[in-house]
């Protein structure tokens, strides 16, 4: 099914290039600009060397790196209408290929957003998302506020983007799939301690939703002795790993998949068609199945009353253990978390 890693794609296959990008070391906006140019060059080179590529996926933090000292600076943040995004769009248009990218987005109303975009082969932004679940307490980013969009992609795909920690929540993958996504992209900066969790969630998100998952992390050292893991991975809709990378920085892992096969499974499967069966419980016994909501956490979350039984015993509920300042109050636009990194 992978066509020798995408070397022999069928006419209906979506051919992906997952870039295990070397962790960039960012200290200034000049570094962000240089890294943006490098990402654009990698995209162009990948497409020139592998003409079958339909979509090139870069990891989370591919422009901004993983150093908290740079995260503290507003100077290095990007804007959706800024020059960095424009260069990414131009690279896709000039190379006639889709691209998936990560930016840390300036936010005048609080902390920056950890955002992702999918750009089509004409250079237009087809999908724009803000990370719903920042990796607390490690990350200082504002929680996403625009939901989880999906977009039509090449070769019969419907794409979504789960940014790193979002993929650890089965609810996020389910939301994307419920909205029609048959290919769940996942970008991350994860390091090796997360390798097992990375694998099982990529597999489970695929199987639970009868979707393909295509995921990739940064790779290599950033000076702290704990390297990012690379570990590009593609799972089919049965949850089987069909292509897997390694820890080699800047390796482009390629694969061809058939999104329409996931669509067929969703329409034709009986046993384990769980994304359908969630809302049609016991349809063998009851016509149409039960369509109530038996899940307390779903009802409470919707009502704004979500509270785990051990709520009062949770020890870490802000980022101060990681050197951040206190979180901002909902009524305040002042980013107090990153101010802690700056000693304010």
Distance (Å, whole) CA 33 – CA 37? 6
Q: Which long-range contacts (CB under 8 A, 24 or more apart) does 3-9 make?
A: 3/255, 3/256, 5/243, 5/253, 5/254, 5/255, 5/256, 6/50, 6/52, 6/53, 6/254, 6/255, 6/256, 7/52, 7/254, 8/256, 9/52, 9/256
Residue 3 parent element (H or E): helix 3-6
DSSP state of 292: S
Q: Which of 47, 60, 92, 175 is catalytic?
A: 60
Write down the catalytic residue from 40, 78, 131, 142.
Answer: 131
Query: Of 78, 100, 151, 164, which residue is the catalytic one?
Result: 164
* 131 classed as catalytic: yes
Known catalytic residue: 217? no
CB 213 within 8 A of CB 206: yes
- Give the pairing of strands 55-57 and 14-20: parallel
| Pairwise CA distance, residues 105 & 116, whole Å | 9
> 92 φ, ψ to 5°?
-65, -45
Whether residue 164 lies in the annotated active site: yes
Enzyme catalytic residues: 60, 131, 164
């Amino acid at each position: 099914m992978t066509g020798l890693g995408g070397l022999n794609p069928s006419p209906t296959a979506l051919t992906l290039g997952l870039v295990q990008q070397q962790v960039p070391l960012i200290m200034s906006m000049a570094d962000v600009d240089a890294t943006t140019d490098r990402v654009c060059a990698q995209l162009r080179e990948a497409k020139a060397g592998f003409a079958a590529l339909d979509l090139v996926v870069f990891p989370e933090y591919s422009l901004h790196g993983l150093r908290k000292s740079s995260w503290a600076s507003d100077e290095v943040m990007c804007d959706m209408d800024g020059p960095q995004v424009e260069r990414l769009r131009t690279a896709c248009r000039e190379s006639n290929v889709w691209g998936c990218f990560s930016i840390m987005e300036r936010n005048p109303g609080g902390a920056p957003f950890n955002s992702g975009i999918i750009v089509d082969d004409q250079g237009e932004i087809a999908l724009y998302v803000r990370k719903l679940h920042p990796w607390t307490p490690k990350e200082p980013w504002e929680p996403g506020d625009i939901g989880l969009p999906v977009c039509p992609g090449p070769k019969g795909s419907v794409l979504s983007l789960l940014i790193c920690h979002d993929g650890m929540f089965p609810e996020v993958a389910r939301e994307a799939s419920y909205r029609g996504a048959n290919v769940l992209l996942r970008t991350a900066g994860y390091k090796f301690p997360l390798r097992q969790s990375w694998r099982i969630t990529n597999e489970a998100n695929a199987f639970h939703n009868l979707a393909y998952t295509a995921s990739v992390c940064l790779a290599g050292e950033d000076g702290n002795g704990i390297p990012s893991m690379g570990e590009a991975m593609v799972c089919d809709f049965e949850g089987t790993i069909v292509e897997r990378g390694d820890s080699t920085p800047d390796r482009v892992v390629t694969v061809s998949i058939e999104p329409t096969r996931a669509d067929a499974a969703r329409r034709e499967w009986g046993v384990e068609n769980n994304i359908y069966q969630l809302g049609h419980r016991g349809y063998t016994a009851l016509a149409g199945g039960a369509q109530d909501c038996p899940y307390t956490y779903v009802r409470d979350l919707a009502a704004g009353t979500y509270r785990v039984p051990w709520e009062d015993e949770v020890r870490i509920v802000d980022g101060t253990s990681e050197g951040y300042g206190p979180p901002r109050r909902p009524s305040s636009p002042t980013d107090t978390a990153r101010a802690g990194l700056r000693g304010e």
